Amino acid sequence: VTEDRSDLEDLHLYATPREQRFRRFASLEFEGQLYMTPYDFIQAVTNDEPKCAKKWRSLSKQELNQILMETPPVWKGSSKLFRNLNEKGVISYTEYLFLLCILTKPHAGFRIAFNMFDTDGNEMVDKKEFLVLQEIFRKKNEKRERKGDEEKRAMLRLQLYGYHTSTNSVLKTEGEDPVPRSYWDTLRRSTSQALFSDLAERADDISSSLSDTTLLVHFFGKKGKAELNFEDFYRFMDNLQTEVLEIEFLSYSNGMNTISEEDFAHILLRYTNVENTSSYLENMRCRIPEEKGITFDEFRSFFQFLNNLEDFTIAMQMYNFASRSIGQDEFKRAVYVATGVKLSPHLVNTVFKIFDVDRDDQLSYKEFIGIMKDRLNRGFR
């Protein structure tokens, strides 16, 4: 059984950009709730649009159980987990948001993330603690909902969260935020309140009303009784980051050990606010006439640096370069001091050749940071 997207296309008008993207790439539906497959998720973070217009395929209870039965435990995870699962998995909207958070976090932040979930401080995360995530993201979304037909918004909530939600506040907050917070900031702030609100209690209600997902079974076992330790959690986050980078790298490498400097520039400028990328690419072609190539290690090290962009920004401000250009030596040193990542001279030179539009071998700090923040958040800043 399939449900044509056009039948519910007007719900798109009530959805945020992230919700719209999830609905566009999701391919499964179970009891009214939409899900991505692992393949859908990979497509959503590596492509601008789905490869083909999809219909939501309705899963039977038997099909869902079979998928979950084949889900490997967390200790069998790898940097090919999502590719191996392919279409045999279900990822909810709140899990999609959580996975997006992981992709942009530095390794130093993995412990913070784990501790946020570990609300009782026993160095283990159980299923109930993890399900608080559902409520936190749902409450954040409620604040962002577009006004309009209440019935349509209720249908949208059912699609994304799997149950009809009330508009009564669960989190105890003091007024609206003066600025919109990221999902990561919301998670960081809200989990600290979990023990002092009815949020944790509500996790029991959520657990009984929602179906298990691939991620829940992967983390907590088929009976939901297993607990997640930090080592397994860290490995999962690291593997996910590596897997997405491998997929992006391999899509350009054609089986070779390197990608061209121009391909690296293409990947770097995707999901950014740069409208005319041709000037950057032409600039680089003229200034790097002989192709040497970018290895996967260099490629990964640059994106590890991007995940530490906030610390790098602080380091640059301390260097007092905030309003002027910087050279390659200062750039390389600032990256290492702030993030511990050593970028190769060739990679730094390539980055400079891409962004040094006026060809003075200096990098415009503000322009570079602005573009890279867009790239880090894959267009959802």
Q: Where are the domains of the chain?
A: 5-241, 254-376
pTM of the model as a whole = 0.82
The SS3 of residue 36 is strand
Is residue 341 within 8 A of residue 304, CB to CB? The reply is yes
Is residue 191 within 8 A of residue 128, CB to CB? The reply is no
Buried b (16+ CB within 10 A) or exposed e, 100-129: bbbbbbbbebbeebbbbbbbeeeebbbbbb
Q: Check residue 240 and give its pLDDT.
A: 96
Q: Check residue 277 and give its pLDDT.
A: 79
CA distance 197 to 176: 18
Q: Check residue 22 and give its pLDDT.
A: 92
Give the count of beta carbons closer than 10 Å to the beta carbon of residue 340: 14
Q: Check residue 201 and give its pLDDT.
A: 52
The SS3 of residue 201 is helix
Backbone angles phi, psi at 141, to 5 degrees: -65, -40
Helix (H) or strand (E) holding 160: helix 150-161
Structure-token pair, residue 114: 């784990």
Higher pLDDT, residue 183 or 289: 289
CA distance 295 to 258: 5
Could you tell me what percent of the chain has a pLDDT over 70? 79
Residue written as tokens 């209690």? 201
Whether residue 314 has pLDDT greater than 60 = yes
Whether residue 203 has pLDDT greater than 80 = no
Give the count of beta carbons closer than 10 Å to the beta carbon of residue 214: 25
